[in-house]
Amino acid sequence: MPDTFGKNALLLSLLLGLGGVQNAGASNATEAALANAHGIPRPAVIAHRGASFDAPESTAAAYTLARDLGADYLEMDLQRSKDGVLFALHDNSLLRTTDVAKKFPQRKDSPASAFTLAELKTLDAGSWFNQAYPDRARPSYVGLPILTLDEIIDIAQGNPQYKPGLYIETKEPRQFPGLEHDLKNKLSERGWLEPVASAEAEGKPLVGQGKGRVMLQTFDKNSLELLQKEMPDTPKILLLWVGEGGMKPSTSVSFADSGEKDKAAYYAKQHPKDKAEFIQWLDFAKANGAIGTGPSAALTHGGDQSYFDLIQPWMNSAAHDRGMLVHVYTLDAPVDFKKAMDAGVDGIFTNRASELLTYYQRPVPQSVNQLLEKNGF
Ligand code: G3P
Ligand code: CA
């Protein structure tokens, strides 16, 4: 199956003339051809909530910086306001990343989706970053607003030279019935469900202009099915997790009972129940239209984005054998970039787009500080 698939994908790629996306650092012709056929760079640089190491996550500072560094994709977690507007926010609650406790003390614990867009727009989504990371703080981050999907699309389109794609996660989709349909409507309205015809005609579309300009991602099997129904021609990734909402774990010991000092140490020892359980998720993904998977990784230095090691070489080979790509989340250190690439992944979600681009020896036009200042931050 892999050999036959590889030849077909390579032939398809050559016939489609999709030689324009980067392949630096990647060697496997089958996966390279698959990525090319979908217009997805390989290895892909996916800016997780924007350039969120250097600027407050999911704000204009983070997304314009990621774009202007040359990241391939702007990643976001999609939610819907009380009055039906799609916006980007990772957490269910507004407490961690906004001043909701000050502005709406009675409703501070309510989900973000219980607020209208006008209410969300009154919140300061930047100051928390200055307090959490004083060494990266900037006065210009104070007061940065939450962004709508429309505004992130404007950012993605806003630089004539750099055109990143959008890598959109349906966040907590069971909270948002019809989210997949609303997303389809918005992307269609903005012309983002088709490649940019003029760029295609020239033969070398930038990522945000080509067939892979939108990537859809979800942890939720039902949401994958709905995304496939709504947008059958848009590439999709099934995100992988062990435990609640994900693969059955090898043990049912809770974090509280585990004796581990932090969640990262606990997650690092958690594994899928067995090989069959892992494979079952791949087969579900493939059968429901996913062109790849998004596994987690255990980070060398731990931290709050260090999860399960789901990028062991056999796991990546199993995805590749099924004709699927592997985009791992969320790595920031060169030691982890190397481990992941050596294990065979095809792209990396990162909070530090500048570091990952440098690791891949891709040009970064200016420093992070210069680009932030150029963009008014
Ligand atoms: O979407 C990939 C990665 O972002 C998943 O983790 O929790 O950061 O959305 P999370
Ligand atoms: Ca995400």
Q: Is residue 182 part of a domain?
A: yes
Measured from the Cα of 330, ligand 1's closest atom is 3
| Residues 329 and 311 sit within 8 Å (Cβ to Cβ) | no
Q: Is residue 28 part of a domain?
A: no
Q: Is residue 30 part of a domain?
A: no
The residue contributing the CA closest to ligand 1 atom 6 is: 329
Task: Render the burial of 212-241: b for 16+ CB within 10 Å, e for the rest.
Answer: bbbbbbbbbeebbbbbbebbeebbbbbbbb
Catalytic residues: 48, 90
In the structure, ligand 2 is a single-atom ion and the residues with CB under 5 Å from it are: 77, 169
Q: Is residue 189 part of a domain?
A: yes
Rg of the chain taking only CA atoms, in angstroms: 20
Q: What is the pLDDT of residue 203?
A: 86
- Give the residues surrounding ligand 1 with Cβ less than 6 Å away: 48, 77, 90, 169, 217, 239, 294, 329-330, 349
| C-alpha–C-alpha distance, residues 88 and 81, integer Å | 10
HSE (side-chain half, CA atoms, 13 Å) at 251 = 10
Measured from the Cα of 49, ligand 1's closest atom is 4
| Residues 69 and 56 sit within 8 Å (Cβ to Cβ) | no
| C-alpha–C-alpha distance, residues 108 and 97, integer Å | 12
Per DSSP, 272 falls in state B
Q: What is the pLDDT of residue 6?
A: 38
Count the domains in the chain: 1
Q: Which ligand is nearest to the CA of 237?
A: 1
Mutational test site, ligand 1, from 49, 78, 79, 90, max ligand atoms within 8 Å of CB: 90
Q: What is the pLDDT of residue 364?
A: 96
Low-confidence ranges of the chain (pLDDT < 50): 1-26
pLDDT tens figures, 352-362: 999 999 999 99
Q: Is residue 272 part of a domain?
A: yes
| Six token digits for residue 282 | 């791949």
Q: Is residue 276 part of a domain?
A: yes
Q: What is the pLDDT of residue 104?
A: 98
- Closest alpha carbon to 30 in 69, 64, 1, 51: 1
Q: Pairing between strand 292-294 and 73-80?
A: unpaired
| Six token digits for residue 25 | 């650092």
**Identity at 167, one-letter amino acid code:** Y
CA separation, residue 118 to residues 87, 147, 190, 226 (Å): 12, 12, 22, 29
| Residues 369 and 375 sit within 8 Å (Cβ to Cβ) | no
Q: What is the pLDDT of residue 27?
A: 53
| C-alpha–C-alpha distance, residues 247 and 251, integer Å | 12
CA dihedral 309, 312, 314, 316 (to 10 degrees): 90
| C-alpha–C-alpha distance, residues 346 and 342, integer Å | 10
Q: Is residue 33 part of a domain?
A: no
Give the list of residues 6+ apart from residue 79 with CB closer than 8 angstroms, or none: 86, 87, 88, 89, 112, 113, 171, 172, 176
The residue contributing the CA closest to ligand 1 atom 2 is: 329
> Which CATH number belongs to the domain containing residue 196 in this structure?
3.20.20.190
Q: Is residue 2 part of a domain?
A: no
Work out the burial of residue 372: count CB atoms within 10 Å of its CB; fewer than 13 is exposed, 13-18 middle, 19 or more buried. buried
**What domain range is 194 assigned to?**
38-374
